[in-house]
């Protein structure tokens, strides 16, 4: 049976249709569910195996990217989200969705962090250049244990955000995440660099994130949040140099969605 994916959107979300299509292309049954619908009937979430919060500008980012959306989850859906995280299910947050996962406390701790989120040890804030940035970036997969990243070593994806700079409160947290396999993807320059923590300049690290981090996972490997948009590269022809590189077939971003669907086939 195909897994069911809940694409949870809010006012201002604008990548939900593309994200639902990506999951469906990989064999999932994807449904776009409005946050207001889930607030009215929280038990709806029990029908799904995958929860995805897509990109966009939820609530217009009026008081900060993902802040209102994350407060809705914590203040009104805490038990529902907690139960989902405790189950053998998957959670994906893309761009604004990653911001929501961090600011709600779902990441970096997953189920454990959701239980006791007294403060946030990490956030996503304004890019170093102080403006919205849209470009393609090269990424290194750092967490083979993460379900979404299985079989992926290097990947190129587009970014489009103004508040994508990941900042940790304490640099020792980054070492802890590295040890527990929670650093999911990092910006890279396409060359092997032994010192993965050494900050790369713009445009390789397009927002100035600590340790070049572009995405984080939870300790279980079942939650992933990332700033780049895999749903914008599910066809080879979506790459700006697809003719020059002679790309054909699927785009590299499709693999993340396929891994999520295949997880339930294997289990």
Catalytic residue annotation: 95, 229, 231
Q: Which two tokens mark 262?
A: 């295949």
């Amino acid at each position: 049976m195909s897994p069911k994916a809940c694409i949870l959107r809010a006012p201002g979300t604008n990548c939900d249709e593309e994200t639902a299509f990506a999951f469906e292309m990989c064999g999932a049954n994807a449904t776009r569910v409005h946050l207001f619908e889930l607030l009215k009937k929280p038990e709806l979430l029990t029908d799904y195996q995958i929860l995805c919060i897509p990109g966009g500008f939820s609530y217009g980012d009026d008081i900060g990217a993902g802040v209102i959306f994350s407060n809705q989850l914590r203040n009104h859906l805490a038990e529902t989200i907690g139960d989902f995280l405790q189950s053998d299910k998957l959670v994906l947050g893309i761009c604004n969705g990653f911001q929501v996962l961090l600011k709600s406390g779902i990441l970096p701790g997953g189920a454990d962090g959701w239980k006791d989120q007294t403060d946030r040890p990490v956030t996503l804030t304004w890019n170093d250049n102080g403006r919205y940035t849209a470009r393609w970036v090269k990424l290194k997969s750092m967490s083979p244990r993460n379900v979404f990243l299985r079989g992926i070593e290097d990947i190129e994806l587009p970014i489009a955000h103004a508040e994508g700079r990941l900042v940790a409160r304490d640099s020792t947290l980054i070492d802890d995440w590295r040890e527990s396999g929670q650093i999911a993807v990092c910006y890279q320059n396409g060359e092997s660099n032994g010192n993965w923590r050494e900050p790369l300049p713009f445009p390789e690290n397009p927002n100035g994130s600590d340790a070049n981090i572009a995405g984080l996972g939870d300790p279980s490997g079942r939650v992933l949040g990332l700033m780049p948009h895999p749903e914008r590269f599910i066809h080879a022809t979506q790459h700006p140099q697809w003719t020059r590189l002679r790309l054909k077939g699927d785009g590299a971003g499709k693999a993340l969605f396929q891994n999520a669907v295949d997880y339930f086939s294997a289990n």
